[in-house]
């Protein structure tokens, strides 16, 4: 069965007096894989549960292929969910769990056995159908939960952080398997995660939520390279933040200048919002380079500081560089010494520039 279109039209949801979703609107194309990304409490799980019918909406509509399903119970929405805890029946075998939804739908035993066999083969669980789920590894249990969801041939697959209980190596393998399977089946998928890399790898589009509202929607490379706000920049890993003096210079803006930095001239359009004396620059440590404090060309902002700490996470060195009273994390392939005077080189392409105050949001 082909995937369905999904439209979320000004949806609101609340827990008691606390409004969790605030007029959220989103259109998902048939067969698209969309990741809902955000920190704890942003509303992403509530939105997923509103789509599935487990959380009632207090305003707006949810439409599947143009039909309003807002008032339908979960079992009438032609959707299936894979939960974070997998929610498998511990007293059943892998095959019993995969076929459970089919049994509820009144399928006969022969038809269930055929469908379960197809799911076991597709999910690389051949030979494990008769094994109790308590005897399976975490990755195998995750596949069983996915098989149970897919066995009923839903048009929309909902994934509620299903990989969070797996160790890092298995999680990396399984995320690629789920994406490949979703592409093969053409099913529409909505995936909740707090993991940036997971969303980047799996999704066709990422929806970043903040305090019950959508902060940005876009393809992974768009959200990563062109964040729409200081919050999105920080959340997508540009957690180094510096406040720069700014003044207009014709059709450009002059940034920096002072004891701790040089001055660069940038196009006015490079700054999001109308600068009023200061600009907030966000940058990622891997986008910067370390050099002499007075090095750099006219188009590169150089922050002058000293190495305060050093670590080796593998493949490169990671330095904490003190610039005045601030510390910035910068990656560099060379081994340098704590106390060395350095300049953090930041070409314009590495900077995300915003007018206004620093957003203090997390970067997880």
Q: Is 104 left (phi over 0), alpha (psi -120 to 50) or beta?
A: alpha
Rounded-to-integer distance, Cα 2 and Cα 56, Å: 27
The candidate with the shortest Cα–Cα distance to 214, out of 16, 47, 29, is 47
Q: SS3 for 12?
A: strand
Between 334 and 123, the higher pLDDT residue: 334
Where do we find the tokens 């739908």? 105
For residue 94, pLDDT over 50 is answered with yes
How many residues comprise the chain?
Answer: 364
127-131 own/partner pairs: CB under 8 Å, 24+ apart: 128/94, 129/93, 129/94, 129/95, 129/98, 130/93, 130/94, 130/95, 131/93, 131/94
For residues 323 and 283, is the Cβ–Cβ distance under 8 A? no
The per-residue pLDDT for 162 is 81
Least confident of 75-89, 162-176, 328-342: 162-176
The pLDDT tens digits for 152-176 are 889 999 999 888 777 777 788 888 8
Q: How confident is the model at residue 177 (pLDDT cuts 50, 70, 90)?
A: confident
The candidate with the shortest Cα–Cα distance to 45, out of 263, 266, 273, 212, is 212
Q: SS3 for 227?
A: coil
Q: How confident is the model at residue 191 (pLDDT cuts 50, 70, 90)?
A: very high
The per-residue pLDDT for 276 is 65
For residue 361, pLDDT over 60 is answered with no
Return the percentage of the chain with pLDDT > 90, whole number.
57
For residue 359, pLDDT over 50 is answered with no
Q: How confident is the model at residue 25 (pLDDT cuts 50, 70, 90)?
A: very high
Rounded-to-integer distance, Cα 219 and Cα 34, Å: 9
For residues 363 and 234, is the Cβ–Cβ distance under 8 A? yes
The pLDDT tens digits for 319-328 are 999 999 899 9
Question: Taking the CA atoms of the chain, what radius of gyration do you get in angstroms?
Answer: 25
Rounded-to-integer distance, Cα 258 and Cα 280, Å: 16
For residue 12, pLDDT over 90 is answered with yes
List 207's β-bridge partners, or say none: 36, 217
For residues 279 and 271, is the Cβ–Cβ distance under 8 A? yes
- β-pair type (317-323, 300-311): antiparallel
What's the pTM value of the predicted model, to 2 decimals? 0.86
């Amino acid at each position: 069965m082909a995937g369905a279109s999904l439209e979320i039209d000004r949806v609101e949801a609340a827990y008691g007096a606390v409004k969790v979703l605030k007029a959220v609107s989103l259109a998902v194309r048939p067969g698209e894989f969309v990741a809902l990304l955000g920190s704890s409490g942003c509303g992403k799980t509530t939105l997923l549960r509103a789509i599935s019918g487990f959380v009632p909406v207090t305003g707006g509509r949810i439409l599947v292929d143009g039909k309003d399903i807002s008032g339908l119970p979960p079992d009438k929405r032609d959707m299936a969910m894979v939960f974070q805890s997998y929610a498998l029946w511990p007293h059943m075998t892998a095959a019993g769990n995969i076929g459970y939804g089919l049994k509820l739908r009144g399928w006969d035993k022969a038809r269930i056995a055929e469908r379960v066999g197809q799911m076991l083969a597709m999910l690389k669980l051949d030979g494990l159908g008769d094994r109790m789920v308590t005897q399976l590894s975490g990755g195998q249990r995750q596949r069983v939960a996915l098989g149970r969801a897919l066995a009923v041939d839903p048009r929309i697959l909902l994934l509620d952080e299903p990989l969070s209980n797996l160790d890092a190596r298995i999680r990396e393998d399984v995320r690629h398997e789920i994406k490949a399977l979703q592409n093969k089946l053409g099913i529409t998928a909505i995936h909740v995660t707090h993991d940036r890399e997971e969303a980047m790898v799996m999704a066709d589009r990422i929806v970043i939520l903040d305090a019950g509202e959508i902060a940005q929607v876009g393809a992974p490379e768009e959200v990563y390279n062109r964040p729409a706000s200081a919050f999105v920049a920080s959340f997508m890993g540009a957690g180094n933040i510096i406040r720069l003096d700014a003044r207009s210079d014709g059709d450009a803006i002059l940034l920096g200048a002072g004891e701790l930095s040089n001055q660069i001239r940038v196009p006015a359009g490079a700054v999001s919002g109308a600068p009023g004396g200061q600009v907030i620059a966000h940058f990622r440590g891997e986008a910067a380079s370390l050099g002499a404090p007075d090095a750099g060309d006219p188009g590169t902002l150089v922050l002058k500081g000293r190495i305060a700490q050093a670590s080796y996470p593998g493949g490169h060195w990671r330095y904490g560089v003190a610039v005045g009273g601030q510390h910035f994390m910068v990656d560099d392939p060379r081994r340098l010494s704590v106390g060395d005077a350095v300049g953090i080189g930041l070409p314009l392409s590495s900077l995300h520039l915003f007018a206004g105050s620093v957003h203090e949001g997390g970067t997880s």
